[in-house]
Amino acid sequence: MADTAKVAEKEKMTIVVFSGELDKALAAFIIATTGASMGMDVTMFFTFWGLNILKKNEGGMKSKGFKQKMFSILNRGGSSRLKLSRFNMLGLGTWMMKMVMKESHYPSIDEFITMAKEMGVKLIPCSTTCGMFGLTENSFRNGVENIAGAAFFVGEARKSKVTLFI
Amino acid sequence: MADTAKVAEKEKMTIVVFSGELDKALAAFIIATTGASMGMDVTMFFTFWGLNILKKNEGGMKSKGFKQKMFSILNRGGSSRLKLSRFNMLGLGTWMMKMVMKESHYPSIDEFITMAKEMGVKLIPCSTTCGMFGLTENSFRNGVENIAGAAFFVGEARKSKVTLFI
Amino acid sequence: MADTAKVAEKEKMTIVVFSGELDKALAAFIIATTGASMGMDVTMFFTFWGLNILKKNEGGMKSKGFKQKMFSILNRGGSSRLKLSRFNMLGLGTWMMKMVMKESHYPSIDEFITMAKEMGVKLIPCSTTCGMFGLTENSFRNGVENIAGAAFFVGEARKSKVTLFI
């Protein structure tokens, strides 16, 4: 109970991760892990294309319904398939970005997800868009929290010192 | 007066809707209506491409000035013409998204606008970008509030518990 | 010292400028200068493509390392090279937008940067992404503050009334 009280006193940061691009995902994880390292209680709420970041890197054609299946072919997801929002150039820009990150000894998105988890950042898929895209809790990698709805997000955001939509 | 006092005590949420894409518009209206249903006083401030969401679905070539007219041909707007920010694929992705929304009994943007209005969400076009695009209050559908400037937005945002730029 | 105390009492606004497009840059500067004119203490934190806005308009191929050099060719930057996020159409849309801005006697991005500086808005490049893109303080125009890291941004954001990610 003393512990719960202590957590409740931490300043909160809430980030909606709407975008599924490599650069925006990086920005979101840099801010989230920095916040956590400064003692904040950080929640990342993944919705729309942002859900791709948390999808398993395997095939994962598990979505139900015909249109959802078609969508999931287009929109395969998994942290290793993210592309840049600019200069993707059939993959060349994305590949160069990944090289630059590696050379600068910069963590990959996979490493950022692991780091974030270890620092206590909560990674939550949005239930509304999961329904739209035919995703279930099985679609996501280990360590992801239970899916939750927009009301959960708004509840967190109104208690937060910092709320971002990325 | 008692009523005004009560409104003033409500927690505020302010959303800048900069983007005019179907998926981002959906995210904005999901968050806005969820906030309103949780008792928040929600203002959506539409600017740049976000103005398209509020434009009449009719022709509406009413903008003044030659360059504004050319822009309005490119940028016709109206809630039924919004496209996805990804996977539009000459309209195929957008059509699939609309099908999925319909099958999941999910409201369309038009229905979301009506719902938001009924829940007391204020929909405000930004006067600065209206000027740039040659739009007037006649360009917008019924139920939209008077246009207002960036100072109005900043005034609301600084009193808000949650402010998002979408 | 009295002066420092006075500054500390001002309400803060913090804007992450992630995007390097003309329209998003405009939105960021409109909000920042409006905030400053209303007495707020405004910090703009430029990261990823947003760094382009602050780059010198000259050639400026000063980045170190081969891959950083290749990136800087693609991603030349400088306020006069920004493009629209929509309807760029090989430059036609961007040209039309600039014409409309001029005719409406609207400031250019260059003028906005000068105005913002004069109003006391702080323009800060993100050190993490500077490292990734091989940029140093010499890469940026005059008047830009020292580069700073994500921890600086989070520190400002948690003290701010308004925080936006653009």
Q: Stretch A52-57: mean pLDDT, rounded?
A: 88
CA closest to C29 among chain B residues = B150
* Better-predicted residue by pLDDT, C71 or A104: A104
pLDDT of amino acid C105: 77
- Return the ∠ at Cα C91 (arms to C85 and C96), rounded to 5°: 85
Q: Are A99 and C66 in contact (CB under 8 A)?
A: no
Q: Give me the sign of the Cα torsion angle A20, A22, A26, A27.
A: negative
Stated pTM of the model: 0.87
pLDDT of amino acid C17: 97
Residues of A in contact with B161 (CB under 8 A): 157-158
* Residue whose pair of structure tokens reads 């903008």 in the numeric block: B63
Choose among C68, C155, C165: nearest Cβ to A166.
Answer: C165
pLDDT of amino acid A62: 56
Range scoring the smallest mean pLDDT among B144-158, C81-95, C145-159: C81-95
Residue A132 banded pLDDT, cuts 50, 70, 90: confident
Q: Are A150 and A46 in contact (CB under 8 A)?
A: no
What are the structure tokens assigned to B84, written together?
């996805």
> Which chains reach chain B with 3 or more Cβ–Cβ distances below 8 angstroms?
A, C
Residues of B in contact with A72 (CB under 8 A): none
Residues of C in contact with A163 (CB under 8 A): 163
Is residue C80 helix, strand or coil?
Answer: helix
**C-beta contacts of B102-105 below 8 A and 24+ residues apart:** B103/A65, B103/A67, B104/A131, B104/A132
pLDDT of amino acid B61: 53
A115 residue type, one letter:
M
Instruction: Check CB contact under 8 Å for A31 and C155.
Output: no
Q: Give me the sign of the Cα torsion angle B61, B67, B68, B74.
A: positive
- Best of B14, B34, B41, B102 to disrupt the A interface (most A CBs within 10 Å) is B34
Q: Stretch A110-132: mean pLDDT, rounded?
A: 94
Choose among A65, A131, A163: nearest Cβ to B162.
Answer: A163
pLDDT in tens, B43-55: 999 999 999 999 9
CA closest to A162 among chain C residues = C158
A163 residue type, one letter:
T
d(CA A29, CA A50): 12
pLDDT of amino acid B1: 46
CA closest to C86 among chain B residues = B49
B85: which DSSP letter?
S
Does A92 have pLDDT greater than 80? no
Residue A84 banded pLDDT, cuts 50, 70, 90: confident
Choose among A47, A75, A131: nearest Cβ to B27.
Answer: A47
d(CA C38, CA B125): 20
Q: Are B70 and B53 in contact (CB under 8 A)?
A: no
Does B68 have pLDDT greater than 70? no
Is residue B58 helix, strand or coil?
Answer: coil
Q: Containing H/E element for C28?
A: helix C22-37
| Phi, psi angle pair for C148, to nearest 5° | -150, 160
Residues of A in contact with B23 (CB under 8 A): 18, 48-49
pLDDT of amino acid A1: 46
Instruction: Check CB contact under 8 Å for C67 and A96.
Output: yes
Does C152 have pLDDT greater than 60? yes
Q: Containing H/E element for C116?
A: helix C109-118
User: Shortest CA distance to C54 belongs to which of C93, C28, C35, C88?
Assistant: C28
B15 residue type, one letter:
I
CA closest to B30 among chain A residues = A150
pLDDT of amino acid C154: 97
Number of residues in chain A: 166
